[in-house]
Amino acid sequence: MRSNQEAFREGMKDGVPIGLGYFAVAFALGVAARDAGLSPVQGFIASILCLASAGEYAGFTVIAAASPMFEMVLITLIINARYLLMSTAVSQKLSEKIRPVHRFGVAYFITDEIFAIEMWQKGNLNPFYTYGAGTVAAPLWAIGTALGILVGNLMPVRLVSALSVALFGMFLAVIIPPARKDRIILVLVIISFAASFAASRLPYLNLLSTGNRIILLTILLSACAAILFPHPEEEDEEPLEQNV
Protein backbone atom coordinates (compact mmCIF):
# COMPACT_ATOMS: atom_id res chain seq x y z
CA MET A 1 0.00 0.00 0.00
CA ARG A 2 1.40 3.38 -1.01
CA SER A 3 1.38 6.16 1.53
CA ASN A 4 0.09 9.62 0.64
CA GLN A 5 3.67 10.87 0.54
CA GLU A 6 4.70 8.16 -1.92
CA ALA A 7 1.67 8.84 -4.11
CA PHE A 8 2.48 12.57 -4.06
CA ARG A 9 6.10 11.98 -5.09
CA GLU A 10 5.04 9.65 -7.88
CA GLY A 11 2.55 12.24 -9.09
CA MET A 12 5.26 14.90 -9.12
CA LYS A 13 7.52 12.63 -11.18
CA ASP A 14 4.77 11.95 -13.71
CA GLY A 15 3.82 15.63 -13.74
CA VAL A 16 7.26 16.88 -14.80
CA PRO A 17 6.91 16.13 -18.55
CA ILE A 18 3.35 17.46 -18.47
CA GLY A 19 4.50 20.66 -16.77
CA LEU A 20 7.32 21.17 -19.27
CA GLY A 21 4.84 20.73 -22.12
CA TYR A 22 2.49 23.22 -20.49
CA PHE A 23 5.31 25.71 -19.98
CA ALA A 24 6.20 25.65 -23.68
CA VAL A 25 2.61 25.91 -24.93
CA ALA A 26 1.78 28.70 -22.47
CA PHE A 27 4.20 30.98 -24.30
CA ALA A 28 1.85 31.00 -27.32
CA LEU A 29 -1.12 31.52 -25.00
CA GLY A 30 0.72 34.44 -23.40
CA VAL A 31 0.88 36.19 -26.77
CA ALA A 32 -2.93 35.99 -27.03
CA ALA A 33 -3.24 37.28 -23.46
CA ARG A 34 -0.97 40.21 -24.25
CA ASP A 35 -3.02 41.07 -27.34
CA ALA A 36 -6.08 41.10 -25.07
CA GLY A 37 -4.37 43.68 -22.87
CA LEU A 38 -3.56 41.48 -19.88
CA SER A 39 -0.54 42.12 -17.72
CA PRO A 40 1.83 39.29 -16.71
CA VAL A 41 0.22 39.16 -13.24
CA GLN A 42 -3.28 39.01 -14.73
CA GLY A 43 -2.18 36.31 -17.16
CA PHE A 44 -0.67 34.29 -14.31
CA ILE A 45 -3.89 34.52 -12.27
CA ALA A 46 -6.04 33.61 -15.29
CA SER A 47 -3.94 30.53 -16.02
CA ILE A 48 -3.72 29.31 -12.43
CA LEU A 49 -7.52 29.54 -12.18
CA CYS A 50 -8.27 28.00 -15.58
CA LEU A 51 -6.16 24.96 -16.48
CA ALA A 52 -7.56 24.68 -20.00
CA SER A 53 -5.73 26.02 -23.04
CA ALA A 54 -8.69 26.10 -25.45
CA GLY A 55 -11.03 27.60 -22.88
CA GLU A 56 -8.50 30.17 -21.78
CA TYR A 57 -7.63 31.14 -25.34
CA ALA A 58 -11.33 31.60 -26.07
CA GLY A 59 -11.62 33.76 -22.97
CA PHE A 60 -8.73 35.98 -24.08
CA THR A 61 -10.33 36.30 -27.51
CA VAL A 62 -13.59 37.46 -25.93
CA ILE A 63 -11.69 39.96 -23.78
CA ALA A 64 -9.87 41.32 -26.83
CA ALA A 65 -13.20 41.76 -28.61
CA ALA A 66 -14.69 43.56 -25.57
CA SER A 67 -17.65 41.16 -25.64
CA PRO A 68 -20.19 40.85 -22.79
CA MET A 69 -19.34 38.75 -19.74
CA PHE A 70 -22.14 36.25 -20.36
CA GLU A 71 -20.63 35.46 -23.78
CA MET A 72 -17.31 34.57 -22.14
CA VAL A 73 -19.08 32.31 -19.63
CA LEU A 74 -21.07 30.58 -22.37
CA ILE A 75 -18.09 30.03 -24.67
CA THR A 76 -15.78 28.68 -21.98
CA LEU A 77 -18.58 26.45 -20.65
CA ILE A 78 -19.13 24.90 -24.08
CA ILE A 79 -15.44 24.50 -24.89
CA ASN A 80 -14.63 23.00 -21.48
CA ALA A 81 -17.74 20.78 -21.31
CA ARG A 82 -15.61 17.70 -22.03
CA TYR A 83 -14.17 18.01 -18.53
CA LEU A 84 -17.59 17.02 -17.18
CA LEU A 85 -17.07 13.62 -18.78
CA MET A 86 -13.52 13.38 -17.44
CA SER A 87 -14.67 14.30 -13.93
CA THR A 88 -17.31 11.59 -14.06
CA ALA A 89 -14.73 9.00 -15.13
CA VAL A 90 -12.22 10.06 -12.45
CA SER A 91 -14.91 10.00 -9.75
CA GLN A 92 -15.36 6.29 -10.45
CA LYS A 93 -11.71 5.69 -9.54
CA LEU A 94 -12.02 7.41 -6.16
CA SER A 95 -12.84 5.40 -3.09
CA GLU A 96 -16.21 6.10 -1.45
CA LYS A 97 -14.27 7.05 1.70
CA ILE A 98 -12.62 10.05 0.00
CA ARG A 99 -13.81 13.28 1.59
CA PRO A 100 -15.51 16.02 -0.53
CA VAL A 101 -12.57 18.39 -0.06
CA HIS A 102 -10.30 15.94 -1.87
CA ARG A 103 -12.87 15.41 -4.60
CA PHE A 104 -12.91 19.15 -5.25
CA GLY A 105 -9.11 19.17 -5.23
CA VAL A 106 -8.89 16.39 -7.80
CA ALA A 107 -11.54 18.12 -9.94
CA TYR A 108 -9.54 21.35 -10.01
CA PHE A 109 -6.48 19.62 -11.48
CA ILE A 110 -8.32 17.73 -14.23
CA THR A 111 -6.77 18.44 -17.62
CA ASP A 112 -6.50 16.23 -20.70
CA GLU A 113 -3.01 15.07 -19.78
CA ILE A 114 -3.46 14.71 -16.02
CA PHE A 115 -6.70 12.83 -16.69
CA ALA A 116 -4.73 10.41 -18.89
CA ILE A 117 -2.17 9.57 -16.21
CA GLU A 118 -4.91 9.31 -13.57
CA MET A 119 -6.79 6.73 -15.63
CA TRP A 120 -3.51 4.86 -16.10
CA GLN A 121 -3.29 4.23 -12.35
CA LYS A 122 -4.25 0.75 -11.19
CA GLY A 123 -6.97 0.36 -8.60
CA ASN A 124 -8.32 3.33 -6.66
CA LEU A 125 -6.86 6.76 -7.38
CA ASN A 126 -5.09 8.38 -4.45
CA PRO A 127 -5.89 12.15 -4.53
CA PHE A 128 -2.32 12.89 -3.48
CA TYR A 129 -1.10 11.44 -6.78
CA THR A 130 -3.17 14.10 -8.56
CA TYR A 131 -1.93 16.77 -6.16
CA GLY A 132 1.65 15.83 -6.94
CA ALA A 133 1.15 16.04 -10.70
CA GLY A 134 -0.85 19.26 -10.44
CA THR A 135 1.66 20.90 -8.09
CA VAL A 136 4.24 20.66 -10.87
CA ALA A 137 2.06 21.20 -13.94
CA ALA A 138 -0.23 24.06 -12.85
CA PRO A 139 2.47 26.57 -11.76
CA LEU A 140 4.50 25.93 -14.93
CA TRP A 141 1.38 26.57 -16.99
CA ALA A 142 0.74 29.89 -15.23
CA ILE A 143 4.40 30.95 -15.27
CA GLY A 144 4.64 30.14 -18.97
CA THR A 145 1.64 32.37 -19.68
CA ALA A 146 3.15 35.26 -17.71
CA LEU A 147 6.49 34.91 -19.48
CA GLY A 148 4.72 34.66 -22.82
CA ILE A 149 3.11 38.04 -22.13
CA LEU A 150 6.49 39.51 -21.26
CA VAL A 151 8.62 38.17 -24.11
CA GLY A 152 6.28 36.26 -26.43
CA ASN A 153 5.94 39.07 -28.96
CA LEU A 154 9.72 39.41 -29.09
CA MET A 155 10.09 35.80 -30.27
CA PRO A 156 9.91 34.78 -33.96
CA VAL A 157 6.43 33.66 -35.05
CA ARG A 158 7.79 30.28 -36.19
CA LEU A 159 9.30 29.63 -32.78
CA VAL A 160 6.03 30.42 -31.01
CA SER A 161 4.20 28.07 -33.39
CA ALA A 162 6.78 25.35 -32.74
CA LEU A 163 6.27 25.69 -29.00
CA SER A 164 2.52 25.30 -29.43
CA VAL A 165 3.10 21.84 -30.96
CA ALA A 166 5.01 20.63 -27.90
CA LEU A 167 1.85 19.78 -25.95
CA PHE A 168 0.62 17.45 -28.67
CA GLY A 169 3.93 15.59 -28.64
CA MET A 170 3.75 15.30 -24.87
CA PHE A 171 0.19 13.95 -25.04
CA LEU A 172 1.36 11.28 -27.50
CA ALA A 173 4.00 10.29 -24.95
CA VAL A 174 1.18 9.71 -22.45
CA ILE A 175 -0.97 7.46 -24.67
CA ILE A 176 1.71 5.53 -26.57
CA PRO A 177 2.96 3.30 -23.67
CA PRO A 178 -0.47 1.75 -22.87
CA ALA A 179 -1.19 1.46 -26.61
CA ARG A 180 2.00 -0.57 -27.05
CA LYS A 181 0.97 -2.97 -24.27
CA ASP A 182 -2.63 -3.48 -25.38
CA ARG A 183 -3.61 -3.92 -29.05
CA ILE A 184 -7.21 -3.02 -28.31
CA ILE A 185 -6.12 0.36 -26.95
CA LEU A 186 -3.88 0.85 -29.99
CA VAL A 187 -6.76 0.17 -32.39
CA LEU A 188 -9.07 2.46 -30.42
CA VAL A 189 -6.48 5.26 -30.47
CA ILE A 190 -6.11 4.95 -34.26
CA ILE A 191 -9.90 4.90 -34.71
CA SER A 192 -10.18 7.97 -32.46
CA PHE A 193 -7.66 9.90 -34.56
CA ALA A 194 -9.41 8.90 -37.77
CA ALA A 195 -12.87 9.74 -36.41
CA SER A 196 -11.66 13.13 -35.14
CA PHE A 197 -10.20 13.98 -38.54
CA ALA A 198 -13.35 12.81 -40.34
CA ALA A 199 -15.62 14.79 -38.00
CA SER A 200 -13.69 17.98 -38.77
CA ARG A 201 -14.36 17.46 -42.50
CA LEU A 202 -17.85 15.96 -42.67
CA PRO A 203 -20.84 18.24 -43.33
CA TYR A 204 -22.75 19.42 -40.25
CA LEU A 205 -20.20 17.85 -37.89
CA ASN A 206 -17.56 20.34 -39.01
CA LEU A 207 -19.91 23.13 -37.93
CA LEU A 208 -19.65 22.01 -34.31
CA SER A 209 -17.01 23.51 -32.05
CA THR A 210 -13.91 21.46 -31.31
CA GLY A 211 -15.08 20.91 -27.74
CA ASN A 212 -18.51 19.63 -28.82
CA ARG A 213 -16.96 17.30 -31.40
CA ILE A 214 -14.70 15.88 -28.71
CA ILE A 215 -17.68 15.30 -26.40
CA LEU A 216 -19.70 13.59 -29.14
CA LEU A 217 -16.83 11.34 -30.26
CA THR A 218 -15.88 10.53 -26.67
CA ILE A 219 -19.39 9.35 -25.84
CA LEU A 220 -19.80 7.32 -29.03
CA LEU A 221 -16.35 5.71 -29.07
CA SER A 222 -16.19 4.99 -25.34
CA ALA A 223 -19.70 3.47 -25.41
CA CYS A 224 -18.78 1.23 -28.35
CA ALA A 225 -15.51 0.22 -26.69
CA ALA A 226 -17.27 -0.57 -23.40
CA ILE A 227 -19.82 -2.77 -25.19
CA LEU A 228 -17.38 -4.54 -27.51
CA PHE A 229 -14.40 -4.81 -25.16
CA PRO A 230 -15.65 -4.75 -21.55
CA HIS A 231 -12.86 -4.31 -19.03
CA PRO A 232 -12.92 -6.83 -16.16
CA GLU A 233 -13.23 -5.37 -12.69
CA GLU A 234 -9.99 -5.25 -10.74
CA GLU A 235 -10.28 -7.51 -7.74
CA ASP A 236 -7.18 -6.31 -5.92
CA GLU A 237 -7.75 -2.60 -5.73
CA GLU A 238 -5.07 -0.65 -3.96
CA PRO A 239 -6.35 0.44 -0.53
CA LEU A 240 -5.93 4.05 0.46
CA GLU A 241 -4.82 5.48 3.75
CA GLN A 242 -7.69 5.95 6.14
CA ASN A 243 -6.80 9.60 6.77
CA VAL A 244 -7.24 10.66 3.14
Residue 124 reports pLDDT greater than 60: yes
Residue 187 reports pLDDT greater than 60: yes
Which helix or strand (DSSP H or E) is residue 226 part of? helix 210-228
pTM: 0.71
Give a yes or no: residue 105 inside a domain.
Answer: yes
Structure confidence at residue 241 (pLDDT): 58
Residue 11 reports pLDDT greater than 80: yes
Question: Percent of the chain at pLDDT above 90?
Answer: 30
Residue 158 reports pLDDT greater than 80: no
Give a yes or no: residue 176 inside a domain.
Answer: yes
Interval 171-187 mean pLDDT:
78
Nearest to 135 by CA among 12, 50, 237: 12
Residue 209 reports pLDDT greater than 90: no
Q: Binning pLDDT at 50, 70 and 90, where does residue 166 land?
A: low
Give a yes or no: residue 237 inside a domain.
Answer: no
Range of the domain at 146: 4-228
Residue 176 reports pLDDT greater than 60: yes
Burial class (CB in 10 A: 0-12, 13-18, 19+), 156: exposed
Distance CA 85, CA 134 (A): 19
Residue 234 reports pLDDT greater than 70: no
Q: How far is CA 123 from CA 88, 95, 134, in A?
A: 16, 10, 20
Give a yes or no: residue 60 inside a domain.
Answer: yes
Judge whether 21 and 137 are in contact, CB under 8 Å. Answer: no
Indicate the number of domains in the chain.
Answer: 1
Question: Percent of the chain at pLDDT above 70?
Answer: 84
Give a yes or no: residue 70 inside a domain.
Answer: yes
Give a yes or no: residue 236 inside a domain.
Answer: no
Distance CA 167, CA 21 (A): 5
Give a yes or no: residue 242 inside a domain.
Answer: no
Judge whether 106 and 90 are in contact, CB under 8 Å. Answer: yes
Give a yes or no: residue 38 inside a domain.
Answer: yes
Residue 242 reports pLDDT greater than 60: no
